[in-house]
Amino acid sequence: MRGGMGKGIHFSKLYTFSCFRSKFEDEHGQLGQRGYSRIVFCNDPDNPEAVQLKYRGNYVSTTKYTALNFIPKSLFEQFRRVANLYFLVVACVSFSPLAPYTAVSVLAPLLMVIGATMAKEGVEDWRRRKQDIEANNRKVEVYGKNHVFNETRWKNLRVGDLVKIYKDEYFPADLLLLSSSYEDGICYVETMNLDGETNLKLKHALDETASLRDVRSFQNFKSTIKCEDPNEHLYSFVGTLYYGGQHHPLSLQQILLRDSKLRNTDYIYGVVVFTGHDTKVMQNATDPPSKRSRIERRMDKIIYILFSTLILISLTGSMFFGVDTKNDIRGGELKRWYLRPDKTTVFFDPKRASLAAFFHFLTGLMLYGYLIPISLYVSIEVVKVLQSIFINQDRDMYYEETDKPARARTSDLNEELGQVDTILSDKTGTLTCNSMEFVKCSIAGVAYGRGMTEVERALAKRKRSRPHEVTDSSSDLPECNDHVVDSGKPVKGFNFRDERVTNGNWVNEPHSDLIQKFFRVLAICHTAIPDVRKESGEISYEAESPDEAAFVIAARELGFEFFERTQTSISLHELDHESGRKVNRSYTLLHVLEFSSARKRMSVIVKNAENQLLLLCKGADSVMFERLSKDGRLFLAKTMDHLNKYAEAGLRTLVVAYRELSEQEYKSWEEEFLPAKTSVSAARDALIDAACDKIERDLILLGVTAVEDKLQKGVPECIDKLSKAGIKIWVLTGDKMETAINIGHACSLLTKGMKQIVITLDSPDISDLEKQGDKEAIQKASRESIAKQIGEAKAQIIARKESSVTFGLIIDGMSLDFALTKSLESSFLEVAVNCASVICCRSSPKQKARVTKLVKVGTGKTTLAIGDGANDVGMLQEADIGVGISGVEGMQAVMSSDFAIAQFRFLERLLLVHGHWCYRRITMMICYFFYKNITFGFTLFWFEAHASFSGQPAYNDWYMSFYNVFFTSLPVIALGVFDQDVSARLCLKHPLLYQEGVQNILFTWHRILSWMLNGVISSMIIFFFITNSIVNQAFRRDGHLVDYEVLGVTMYTCVVWAVNCQMALSINYFTWIQHFFIWGSIAFWYTFLVIYGALPLKVSTTAYQVFVEACAPSPFYWLATLLVVVSTLLPYFAYRSFQTRFKPMYHDIIQRRRSEGSEAEVSAELPVRVKEKIDHLKERLKHRES
Amino acid sequence: MDVDGESTSAVATEARLIPVLSGRSKAMYQFTQQSLPACKPVLTPAWVITTFFLVGALFIPIGLVSLHASHSVVEIVDRYDSECVPDLFKSNKVEYIKDMSIHKNCSRHLKVHKHMKAPIFIYYQLDNYYQNHRRYVKSRSDRQLLHGLQHNDTSSCTPEESSNGLPIVPCGLIAWSLFNDTYSFSRGTHKLRVNRKNIAWKSDRNHKFGKQVYPFNFQNGTLIGGGKLDPNIPLSDQEDLIVWMRTAALPSFRKLYGRIEDDLNVDDVVVVNLLNNYNTYSFGGTKELVLSTSSWLGGRNNFLGMAYTSVGFSSILVAFIFLLLHVRNPSLNIRAVC
């Protein structure tokens, strides 16, 4: 190593692969072959060869459509829906003489519906386009021919361009890092947009290019990169740089990906390697899995039923028609001579009756097409979009602190929210705040820290709530004093109160040397980066995880202020306890043995000013305790005791230890470690782990830290409500079992009366086997043990089935692996679904997704996953509904979620209120839609039966076309958007109401078919009542008779009235909007009749003056309408009144109680508040007494 | 129905949360928070019973009034299609009707059983005649009826669209099959005054059938359908045609023929002299002559009144059943379910 251990050392050497190039050969040998053929001429994009390669520009378009293909492509999308396709075919056929009505009257509503959907698509796409335009027009500096950096737009960037990126700018394309403002060519990158991780990543240039830091040095810079073709692997890159007559292998370490951000580095120079859609992030952009709600899937089935009905009645019609037509000529004689069957077209030809019947069948398909509601899809879409707007607007789901409202990112799943059976929740950041606070520690067997945790408080509260138990006043005290006593202002992430340690008092403690070492480890052993504010001198930290930040902050607050990190050193301000002054201490950083979830620990190797080599290590207790040296176990028993106490209190614990290394030992180890570190094979991680394992031994225990992961506000109440609503809640967490169980207790997932079933591999036999290291034996034993435990659990559940004991299942990640194998899967699921709550601890992201899938597929019920971090993405996408918490852990989870909320507690409202409403609305809406179209369609059929099935519609063409568009659609939309069976407060007060959705009782086949039957009955009443009462006789005093047109108008009037009044009967919530739409629709029908009838004959044809001249002056018309409308409504009304009275559904009960006044809304809540206040007063009184 | 207190109380609490809000933004707030003041109807037993009783109380009177109106109408119906065929042709009526040489005279005696006040409407009624058949309904040209030969496109009129290269005026099957039985009425020795004007819709006469359109080549084809028209009278005055061209809705229908402007007394015998020209025999249809007065509700038909009364009665019945069940099952307290 050059320059010894001083500052001159090129830290990058430790990371780059410059020493061990041979390893690359196998992979790099592929360059130039298939998949590895890209050639980039650096700083020479105008090179004719480069131009010839025709790489794509940096213009990015994420839109679904372009201006050119919008029309064809979106049309294609539209007509992939069966119903739309059907209507297109109908519209085409309607130009032929087969059509029972004019083509325009079919085309117009279809165009309207398609147009509306296309407009929606267009608007959505336009938004994406605007984002693209913004991205494409961002500015970047490019090295130009005039040898200076000129500003240009992102979209003009070409492969091979040399660019300069400044601090906090996004990279415009995938770049090869040439050099940076640091002399050794490193830079920090934030990749939050890629993987959601907020920590900074270190990248570094090749030594050979790191010196190109001057604008002038690029004048003659020419080189060639050969590398892999564009691909979607974010974590691999293969390539070589030909520069200075030599090939230099490249790796991901030199690649800066588009959409990540330059941090803590003033500027970098880079060469564009992949542009635009070739960049890794764009290659990675896949459309999220499209999710369809259960309701919609069932709706498709209903559409098929209606199609079959349509075909059936068309077939019936065409058979009768065929027979009638055949009989028109019998024995050479014309029967119905007025139809001229002797001189006819094929459609009515008695000689070819079967062919005529076939054509008639097609006509029938068109005529009865009104059974299929053309506007159903578009109405549902409109309704769902409006519903989402209401979800987004809800003030009660708006989080003021971060200014984040709830966001429905997709509107497709609104009603699914009302059917959630199982919630799978992440813990950290979801149930908890993910803002860690350092609250306690145990050093050298002495426990420090007097703060009280949320969990302890919850436990204490539970104890207190029991009337007979004497309250433990000592545990109450800190609660009040907590924030008052300490004079210092509160520091975020630090809630440590102990006068023995704070303010430098630790010096007087018995093991002050160990305390010093302990905090030094906290101050040194991390990957955080300090950010010193120039004006105030305050230091904040950018850390990989909030835990780590908490440690560094704790160290700072206690006098070990970490203030500078260079590539090779870490510097602290330390309080010298002899002189009582701050001194600078710098440690040479030799190696960072990084944290991984497998290793569960991290270490650094440093050399201090005294030239001592130290290995500082912190990690999970399970891995740390076994690594202690014999001498290092001095305080082991006490520390473990403390550790368990902390875990019980729901704290996250880490064990802190260190060891001293001899120069010899270090050297020999490093020789082993470096090759491992620089290898690129798949076994790299394993090699590194093995190497690390060798040195992280014989540690000396210092103590244990305890960090509190605070529960989010309202979580226990929310979980309580949700479980009262019958929703099962599974918590999938990476935490250790004790913490998880405690969090479970704290947020009322696990209750006192609950029987806990713990499935774990943490048994002595297995750890014995582990020590022997026989992997197969471990596997076998583990599987058997898990199978046995699951079997026992099953027996337990069966045994207590009758009693009201509830179970809570706790399983750890290792066991989960076995439980999720094929053979055990089903029995595991069986146990799990019988438990009220399930906690899976120590589970990996992949396991989370697998568990989600198991629940989803295994139970066939709706699952909802909620999480906030990148590690939850799999789970969110796998579940039926993914809810992202827009918290602190980046946007990754939100980006892949269907709904985003700011706090876990909003889930309660999202599900119980919006979910329930949306479910109810959509189901009602669909049922009603079918009802109204069947009512209408069947009147056509009954009329047909009286028109010799000739295919003559009963109504004027335009009446029919406007049926679904104007006269009946708006009230349905109002129903879908505004209806509420019970108010939001009552929804929350009666969580059991939610079960209506879970059990799907509003959308059973029974209910759907009943509605359809209701439609058929209505149509019969309308047709037969009208025809029988109107049939032959005059319908006015002046002796005029009812003709085809008047009958049509009368029947249609009845249909419009009946259908709209049915709506008025079915909804539970009348605001002026509903009144406006319902009565407005009916009024519009009359208005339409008048206006349409007044239009010139050419336009109005048969509808000319019908209403004004014939119907309106006739009392008979109005009386018949009244009779028919009331008669159509009575059956439904009678059914509903009997059902609500004698077999009420849950919402009926709540509605009735409300209307009877026993459900006084405010008064029900008031006592709770009053009670709380009284409790509070009592407490204060008690304190005063003591 | 009932507006309960909840909405108002909810508004009150909301108002406390949002202290200063102008009227409009408050309405907006209520709208976006889905807490607009609303009426929330609940099917309480009281409401159910009241509604059913109300329906009954409303419908039965209406039904009785309608029935009364219907009964006040005097109607004489006389089917003459088979009686007017001479016995010789009874077995082959089609041959009879098609034979142009036979005179189709026929006279019928109608006895008035109740006083009939003028105007008495004369209708003819056809049964099993599909004027609503699609081929039939479509076979007309409204523009030709209005504009005559100025409108040449008569393709919609097939198969009766043209003869000798000129469009038939009026074209189409409907016109071609014009009903052509005629009636004249006498009481004792003197003829009754029959007014055959204003039997068609006013808008039809004024706007649908041209005042300058003359049926100059009507029924010139090889196959004669129904009646002929006087080529010297414009279509707008051919009221029989206009009435006929308003197609009927159902296969059994009446059409207005004219009005008798004299009162008929009980036991008067009206002699009808008719020409039985129209062929209903081919398709097995019937022909009836109807004389009817009218009430405010129109002609005689009990259905509406019966329907009203029966719906009214059944609604009261349902109300009683409901009441009975409700009283007998008081134990089914809703509280027990929760």
In this predicted model, what pLDDT tens digit does every residue of A319-367 receive, in sequence order? 999 998 888 888 778 888 888 888 888 888 888 888 999 998 988 888 8
Predicted local confidence at residue A474, as pLDDT: 36
Confidence grade of residue B8 (pLDDT, cut at 50, 70, 90): very low
Task: Judge whether residue A780 has pLDDT over 90.
Answer: no
Phi, psi (5° rounding) for residue A1157? 90, -5
Task: Judge whether residue B293 has pLDDT over 50.
Answer: yes
Predicted local confidence at residue A1016, as pLDDT: 95
Predicted local confidence at residue A92, as pLDDT: 82
Bond before A675 cis per omega within 30 degrees: no
Between A11 and A750, name the one with better pLDDT. A750
Pick from A201, A211, A205, A267: nearest CA to A234 = A201
- Alpha-carbon distance of B74 to B299, in angstroms, equals 9
Nearest to B338 among A394, A978, A1149 (CB): A1149
- Alpha-carbon distance of A993 to A1159, in angstroms, equals 15
- Alpha-carbon distance of A164 to A162, in angstroms, equals 7
Nearest to B32 among A393, A1025, A1039 (CB): A393
Predicted local confidence at residue A962, as pLDDT: 87
Helices and strands (DSSP H and E) totals, chain B: 11, 11
Measured between beta carbons, which residues in chain A are less than 8 angstroms from residue B206?
none
pLDDT above 90: percentage of residues in chain A = 15
- CB contact under 8 Å between B246 and A1043, yes or no, is yes
Identify whether B146 is part of a domain: yes
Residue of A318, A917, A1043, A1106 best to disrupt the B interface, most CBs of B under 10 A: A1043
Measured between beta carbons, which residues in chain A are less than 8 angstroms from residue B298?
1033-1037, 1039, 1114, 1116
Lowest-pLDDT range, A154-158, A750-754, A878-882, A1078-1082? A750-754
Three-state DSSP class for residue B20: coil
Taking the alpha carbons at both ends of chain B, their separation in whole angstroms is 25
Predicted local confidence at residue B112, as pLDDT: 92
Task: Judge whether residue A877 has pLDDT over 90.
Answer: no
Q: For residue range A696-729, list pLDDT tens digits in order.
A: 888 888 899 988 877 888 888 888 888 888 888 8
- Alpha-carbon distance of A164 to A148, in angstroms, equals 11
Lowest-pLDDT range, A192-206, A553-567, A1141-1155, B312-326? A192-206
For the segment A874-878, the average pLDDT, to the nearest whole number, is 84
Q: How many CB atoms lie within 10 A of CB A967?
A: 22
Lowest-pLDDT range, A356-370, A680-694, B230-244? A680-694
Task: Judge whether residue B292 has pLDDT over 70.
Answer: yes
Predicted local confidence at residue A485, as pLDDT: 37
- CB contact under 8 Å between A946 and B251, yes or no, is yes
Using the structure block, give the residue that is written with the tokens 């028993």: A637
Predicted local confidence at residue B15, as pLDDT: 40
Q: For residue range A576-628, list pLDDT tens digits in order.
A: 766 767 788 888 888 888 776 667 788 899 988 888 899 999 988 878 888 88
- CB contact under 8 Å between B300 and A1109, yes or no, is no
- CB contact under 8 Å between B38 and A1153, yes or no, is no
Q: For residue range A485-523, list pLDDT tens digits in order.
A: 344 556 777 888 888 887 777 888 888 888 888 988 988
- CB contact under 8 Å between B279 and A337, yes or no, is yes
Between B319 and A304, name the one with better pLDDT. B319
Exposed / middle / buried, residue B102 (Cβ in 10 Å: 0-12, 13-18, 19+):
middle
Asked if B229 and B215 touch (Cβ cutoff 8 Å), the reply is yes
Same domain, yes or no: B27 and B83? no
- Alpha-carbon distance of A635 to A703, in angstroms, equals 8
Identify whether B251 is part of a domain: yes
Confidence grade of residue A1165 (pLDDT, cut at 50, 70, 90): very low
Lowest-pLDDT range, A646-655, A673-682, B100-109, B281-290? A673-682
Same domain, yes or no: B98 and B185? yes
Average pLDDT of chain A is 81
Same domain, yes or no: B125 and B198? yes
Same domain, yes or no: B5 and B137? no
Total domains in chain B come to 2
Q: For residue range A712-721, list pLDDT tens digits in order.
A: 888 888 888 8
Is A842 one of the annotated binding-site residues? Answer: yes
Same domain, yes or no: B119 and B262? yes
Identify whether B270 is part of a domain: yes
For the segment A520-541, the average pLDDT, to the nearest whole number, is 82
Task: Judge whether residue A466 has pLDDT over 60.
Answer: no
Same domain, yes or no: B146 and B29? no
Identify whether B278 is part of a domain: yes
Is A735 one of the annotated binding-site residues? Answer: yes
Identify whether B320 is part of a domain: no
Pick from A278, A272, A282: nearest CA to A50 = A272
Distance from CA of A1172 to the nearest CA of B (A): 19
Q: Which domain holds residue B13?
A: 1-37
> What does the DSSP assignment read for A887-918?
SSS-SHHHHT-SEEESSTTHHHIIIIIIIHHH
Identify whether B285 is part of a domain: yes
Is A280 one of the annotated binding-site residues? Answer: no
Between A373 and B269, name the one with better pLDDT. B269
Beta bridge partners of A556: none
Identify whether B10 is part of a domain: yes
Lowest-pLDDT range, A82-86, A446-450, A758-762? A82-86
Task: Judge whether residue A1014 has pLDDT over 80.
Answer: yes
Asked if A406 and A391 touch (Cβ cutoff 8 Å), the reply is yes
- CB contact under 8 Å between B134 and A950, yes or no, is yes
Q: For residue range A544-582, list pLDDT tens digits in order.
A: 677 788 888 888 888 888 888 877 888 888 877 667 677
- Alpha-carbon distance of A708 to B113, in angstroms, equals 103
Lowest-pLDDT range, A105-109, A245-249, A321-325, B5-9? B5-9
- Alpha-carbon distance of A982 to A912, in angstroms, equals 11
Confidence grade of residue B159 (pLDDT, cut at 50, 70, 90): confident
- The half-sphere exposure of B323 on its side-chain side, counting CA atoms within 13 A, is 13
Task: Judge whether residue A1091 has pLDDT over 70.
Answer: yes
- CB contact under 8 Å between A1071 and B37, yes or no, is yes
Measured between beta carbons, which residues in chain A are less than 8 angstroms from residue B201?
1040, 1105, 1109-1110
| Residue A746 CA: distances (Å) to CA of A438, A456, A643, A905, A909 | 19, 8, 18, 15, 21
Q: For residue range A100-135, list pLDDT tens digits in order.
A: 777 777 787 788 878 887 887 788 788 778 888 888
Is A736 one of the annotated binding-site residues? Answer: no
Residue of B2, B4, B6 best to disrupt the A interface, most CBs of A under 10 A: B6
Nearest-by-CA chain B residue for A328? B283
Exposed / middle / buried, residue A1138 (Cβ in 10 Å: 0-12, 13-18, 19+):
middle
Between A1056 and A42, name the one with better pLDDT. A1056
Bond before A230 cis per omega within 30 degrees: no
pLDDT above 90: percentage of residues in chain B = 40
Pick from A677, A647, A672, A865: nearest CA to A738 = A647
Phi, psi (5° rounding) for residue B61? -60, -45
Predicted local confidence at residue A708, as pLDDT: 81
Beta bridge partners of B245: none
- Alpha-carbon distance of B258 to A438, in angstroms, equals 103
Is A595 one of the annotated binding-site residues? Answer: yes
Q: Which two tokens stand for residue A208?
A: 């050979």
Q: How many CB atoms lie within 10 A of CB A37?
A: 14
Q: In chain A, what are the helix, strand and coil shares in percent, each to the nearest 5?
A: 50, 20, 30
Q: For residue range A395-441, list pLDDT tens digits in order.
A: 888 888 888 888 888 777 888 999 999 999 988 778 877 677 888 88
Identify whether B60 is part of a domain: no
Predicted local confidence at residue A313, as pLDDT: 92
- Active-site positions of A? 426
Same domain, yes or no: B82 and B169? yes
Single-letter residue type at A1108: V
Lowest-pLDDT range, A62-76, A898-912, B112-126? A62-76
Q: What is the DSSP letter of B123?
A: E
Same domain, yes or no: B117 and B19? no
- Alpha-carbon distance of B110 to B124, in angstroms, equals 14
- Alpha-carbon distance of A890 to A200, in angstroms, equals 13
Asked if A720 and A463 touch (Cβ cutoff 8 Å), the reply is no
Q: How many CB atoms lie within 10 A of CB A222?
A: 14
Same domain, yes or no: B272 and B180? yes
Q: Which residues contact A40 (CB under 8 A, 6 or more apart)?
A: A50, A159, A160, A176, A224, A225, A226, A227, A271, A272, A273
For the segment A884-894, the average pLDDT, to the nearest whole number, is 71
Predicted local confidence at residue A192, as pLDDT: 66
Average pLDDT of chain B is 85
- CB contact under 8 Å between A1034 and B130, yes or no, is no
Measured between beta carbons, which residues in chain B are less than 8 angstroms from residue A1031?
250, 252, 301, 303
Distance from CA of A360 to the nearest CA of B (A): 11
Between B4 and A1182, name the one with better pLDDT. A1182
Predicted local confidence at residue A1177, as pLDDT: 57
Pick from A571, A563, A576, A574: nearest CA to A588 = A571
Lowest-pLDDT range, A434-438, A459-463, A1010-1014? A459-463
Measured between beta carbons, which residues in chain B are less than 8 angstroms from residue A1115?
296-297
- Alpha-carbon distance of A386 to A368, in angstroms, equals 31
Residue of B18, B116, B121, B133 best to disrupt the A interface, most CBs of A under 10 A: B133
Three-state DSSP class for residue A511: coil
Q: In chain B, what are the helix, strand and coil shares in percent, each to the nearest 5?
A: 40, 15, 45
Using the structure block, give the residue that is written with the tokens 């004389």: B291
Three-state DSSP class for residue A127: helix
Distance from CA of A367 to the nearest CA of B (A): 12
- Alpha-carbon distance of A1079 to A1064, in angstroms, equals 9
Measured between beta carbons, which residues in chain A are less than 8 angstroms from residue B223?
340
Nearest to A335 among B4, B283, B299 (CB): B283
Same domain, yes or no: B12 and B102? no
Confidence grade of residue A819 (pLDDT, cut at 50, 70, 90): confident
Q: What is the CA radius of gyration of chain B?
A: 31
- Alpha-carbon distance of B285 to B279, in angstroms, equals 9
Predicted local confidence at residue A927, as pLDDT: 92
The two beta strands, B182-187 and A700-711, are unpaired
Predicted local confidence at residue A1119, as pLDDT: 93
Q: H or E element: which one contains A192? A: helix A192-195
Same domain, yes or no: B4 and B137? no
Same domain, yes or no: B98 and B237? yes
Provide the angle, in degrees to the nearest 10, between the axes of the packed helices A454-465 and A737-746. Answer: 50
Is A410 one of the annotated binding-site residues? Answer: no
Q: For residue range A43-95, list pLDDT tens digits in order.
A: 877 778 878 878 888 888 777 778 888 888 888 877 777 777 777 887 887 78
> What does the DSSP assignment read for A741-798?
HHHHHHTTSS-TTPEEEEE-S--HHHHHHHHHT-HHHHHHHHHHHHHHHHHHHHHHHH
Lowest-pLDDT range, A864-873, A902-911, A975-984? A864-873
Task: Judge whether residue B42 has pLDDT over 60.
Answer: yes
Predicted local confidence at residue A17, as pLDDT: 36
- In SS3 terms, A75-102 reads as HHHHCCCHHHHHHHHHHHHCCCCCCCCC
- CB contact under 8 Å between A1070 and B329, yes or no, is no
Predicted local confidence at residue B160, as pLDDT: 77
Sign of CA dihedral A1179, A1182, A1183, A1184: positive
Phi, psi (5° rounding) for residue A155? -70, -20
